[in-house]
Amino acid sequence: MRLRDAGELEFIRLLRAEAGAADGSVLVGIGDDAAVLACSETESLLLKCDAAVAGQHFRREWFTPAEIGARATLGAISDIAAMGGRPVAILLTLLISPDEELATAREIVRGAAEAGAGFGAPLAGGETVGTSGPLALDVIVAGFAPRGRELRRSAARPGEALLVSGTLGDSAAGLACLERGVTGDAAARYAISRHKRPQPRVALGQLLVEFGVRAAIDLSDGLLRDARHLATESGAALVIEKEALPLSPEAREVASRLRQDALVWATGGGEDFELLFTAEPSAAPSLIAAASERLGLPVTRIGTVEAGAGVRVVAADGAEWPPAAEGWDQFRRA
């Protein structure tokens, strides 16, 4: 069977089988947003690698080299945020043609280094390799988290509230603007900036740990797909209230103009890099207030964890909303 037919989830299952159980210094292995290693008595080490390939994850004509470096780095830092950690260093592997300009490579590195430094994670290492293939980056982020309190994909429990930060679908709206060459108005510019320069929710992740939250995932593949990861790893069902999904006025405006459905972007579009997490219903209001007051970040309750399996999106009238988009699969789109 080819990878294209097997799909990414099958490959992750295979990775897990090869890796075996967490062992020795490895506290959490494959299947969460980042690996967790024993480090000191009070802290654990988080490690994440995140790769991006030109033509597959980004189109070179839409990004300056510095934006390419920054975006890959911010996406990787988002996984540290999703574990409740603080990033401390990045490493960058760059696969690049020897025929590229040195200045291009420098700008990619600069963009990555500046993005990392902005979150307290300076560029600490790198590897650069000549390739005949497309430009590719692998960003490695190391971070620390309070030991035993890392946010996990597997920790959602029936009865908890399901919450999400920020607004959803902005990145997909920005991508749609880029694809159609719609770049002039304020809504398009906002959506494009959300697509080009995601904001990993590092401070929110740490706030969640402080509030005793246990389950989180970052939205890289699209809400529905990432919610399915959370549901599967937790052995629970997630019920999402369609009308509760937070959409920005800009995403709505862009959708209206391009005759698209902003809700499809919000549920199926990837790379919003918001955090999806669960909390005791009684704790949700104070958590929402703290995120707003301390971080200026909206957090919205969008549903509930139930017993069972899978993810459902339900409208106010109780009808199930059939989502059209499946989210991102590394192999099916390549």
Binding-site member from 8, 185, 210, 280 for a copy of itself (CB under 8 A) = 8
Per the rule left: phi > 0, alpha: psi between -120 and 50, beta: everything else, 113 is alpha
Adjacent-strand bridge partners of 163: 277, 301
CA-to-CA distance for 278 and 284, rounded, in angstroms? 9
CA-to-CA distance for 182 and 48, rounded, in angstroms? 34
> Would you count residue 307 as binding a copy of itself (CB under 8 A)?
no
> Would you count residue 179 as binding a copy of itself (CB under 8 A)?
no
> Would you count residue 99 as binding a copy of itself (CB under 8 A)?
yes
Closest approach of Cβ 254 to a copy of itself, in Å?
28
List binders of a copy of itself among 109-128 (CB under 8 A).
Answer: 109-110, 113, 117, 120, 122-128
Binding-site member from 67, 105, 203, 314 for a copy of itself (CB under 8 A) = 105
State residue 268 phi and psi, 5-degree precision.
-110, -20
> Would you count residue 2 as binding a copy of itself (CB under 8 A)?
yes
Closest approach of Cβ 181 to a copy of itself, in Å?
25
> Would you count residue 253 as binding a copy of itself (CB under 8 A)?
no
- Pick 126 or 298: Cβ nearer a copy of itself: 126
List binders of a copy of itself among 131-170 (CB under 8 A).
Answer: 131-134, 136, 138, 140, 142, 144
Closest approach of Cβ 64 to a copy of itself, in Å?
15
Closest approach of Cβ 295 to a copy of itself, in Å?
22
Adjacent-strand bridge partners of 32: 30
> Would you count residue 106 as binding a copy of itself (CB under 8 A)?
yes
> Would you count residue 264 as binding a copy of itself (CB under 8 A)?
no
List binders of a copy of itself among 266-295 (CB under 8 A).
Answer: none
Among the listed ranges 33-41, 161-169, 188-196, 216-224, the one in contact with a copy of itself (CB under 8 A) is 33-41
Q: Are 327 and 268 in contact (CB under 8 A)?
A: yes
CA-to-CA distance for 162 and 224, rounded, in angstroms? 13
CB-based burial, 121-144: b 16+ in 10 Å, e otherwise: bebeeeeeeeeeeebbbbbbbbbb
State residue 129 phi and psi, 5-degree precision.
-135, 135
Distances (CA, A) of 74 to 67, 112, 195: 10, 8, 11
Instruction: State CA 89 to chain mean position distance.
Output: 18
Q: Are 140 and 48 in contact (CB under 8 A)?
A: yes
> Would you count residue 25 as binding a copy of itself (CB under 8 A)?
yes
Start-to-end CA distance of the chain, whole Å, equals 16
List binders of a copy of itself among 39-98 (CB under 8 A).
Answer: 39-41, 45, 47-53, 55-57, 88-89, 91, 93, 95-98
Binding-site member from 59, 60, 294, 332 for a copy of itself (CB under 8 A) = 332
